[in-house]
A and B are shown apart, each in its own frame.
Chain A
Amino acid sequence: MDAKSRVRIATTSLAGCFGCHTSFLDIDERLFDLVRQVDFDRSPLTDIKQVGDCDIGLIEGGVCNAENVHVLREFREHCRILVALGACAINGGLPAQRNHLSLASVLQEVYLTAPGPAGGLIPNDPELPLPLDKVHPLHEVVHVDYFIPGCPPSADAIWQVLTDLVAGREPVLAQRLIHFD
């Protein structure tokens, strides 16, 4: 198989916990089967800094700050198929439990009020991405082609969807592989 016909996959974590990537790695030895058929573009598992043209983009985590929005749009632009991986990408997940609090009160509590080494300053360097006032699912920002539910999705579910997509099939999850928790 020449480099051109090989499937190219990018992955990223936005407001995620890296648990979906860990569950992805839980495919264990099947990872060797996978890397015989695919190349990885930008991913926490590679050293590529900018996402290039890809067939599949896997995204874990919701959208909680300005950089997340930027990366998500880049992935949408460069990935033919975009997959929302896990509860956070699908509905904001547990981080979206901050949506009923005001962002100002959260920052004040963490950096100003709570005891600890915070130093009494809400970080204000322009290097840091500004948090959004609410956490959003991916599909509220860009079009998403497929969703793999779970917190995290099981390795079998991720394997099923990936192998279906790599083979050019419409991904179908058996009912036992669908869970939200």
Chain B
Amino acid sequence: MNAFKLDGRDIPFEPGQTILQAVQAAGQEIPHLCYHPDFKPHGSCKLCSVRINGRMVSSCTAPAHDGMTVESDMPDINEERRTLLQMLFVEGNHFCPSCEKSGACRLQASAYELKMMSPHYDHFFPDRPVDASHADYLLDTNRCILCSLCVRASRDVDGKNVFALSGRGIHTRLIVNAKSGRLGDTDFSGEDKAAHVCPVGAILRKRVGFAVPIGQRPFDPPHEGD
């Protein structure tokens, strides 16, 4: 059987699987944000970076090879992941105390898991207008981490092509494919896969915020003694 070593543990894999796919199939995890099992990998967040023969690769795109040795849960690698998270936090307006996604946000949960105590860098404080034109959903791209999951879901699953990433460099942002650029002028709906894949608080359903008690949100820590 094909297998490789992840931090000293044997991980079996099927030919064609990526490192991350094999690790997840074996019931283990590597931190990640832009990877989702239902979509082709994107490779933008870099959080799933692992080390093979001294070289960093994205485990969501790198194919598994028999007999290779992969390092993931190492202090220096986790330090780099923390740095990536800090970069994402300062690039956006991540004011968790008033975000409806707090406690259910993968960016935030990743920061907790990797013990990010502060964003460290100077803040960008971006100023992109909130799009509340849609009857049931709102779009705050100041929280968007450009994972492109909504782009992939809308294009590849919903067949609607509502979203796209546009611009270059730090000006890259999520846009809506309508002449007006407004979500309300598309056929986007709550039935869409794209309405349910945002890992952060960029795409939010209206009028359901703060319904889940603190302590019961998906990523809330378990109570002591649980």
Cα–Cα distance between A144 and B122 once the two chains are bound (Å): 13
B94 within 8 A of A: yes
Q: Is the CB of A178 within 8 A of B112?
A: yes
Main secondary structure of the interface of B (DSSP, over half): loop
A29 CB to nearest B CB, Å: 19
User: How far is the CB of B203 from the nearest CB of chain A, in Å?
Assistant: 19
Interface residues on A, range: 20 to 34
B123 touches A180 (CB 8 A): no
Interface contacts beyond A96-B123, A100-B125: sample of 7 additional A-B pairs, CB < 8 Å, sorted by A: A93-B95, A96-B125, A140-B123, A149-B117, A151-B97, A180-B96, A181-B99
Contact B97 A149, beta carbon cutoff 8 Å: no
Task: Give the contact-size bracket for chain B.
Answer: 20 to 34
Contacts of A144 in B (CB 8 A): 118
**B93: CB under 8 A from chain A?**
yes
Within the assembled complex, what's the spacing in Å between the Cα atoms of A93 and B123?
11
Interface residues of B (CB under 8 A from A): 89-90, 93-99, 102-103, 108, 111-113, 115-120, 122-123, 125, 127, 221-222, 224
* Cβ-defined contact, B97 with A91, below 8 A: no
Whether A96 lies near B115 (C-beta < 8 A) is: no
Q: Which of these, A90, A93, A178, contacts B115 with CB under 8 Å? A: A178
Whether a CB of chain B sits under 8 angstroms from the CB of A179 is yes
Q: Does A176 belong to the interface (CB within 8 Å)?
A: yes
Rounded to whole angstroms, the CA-CA distance of A147 and B122 in the bound complex is 15
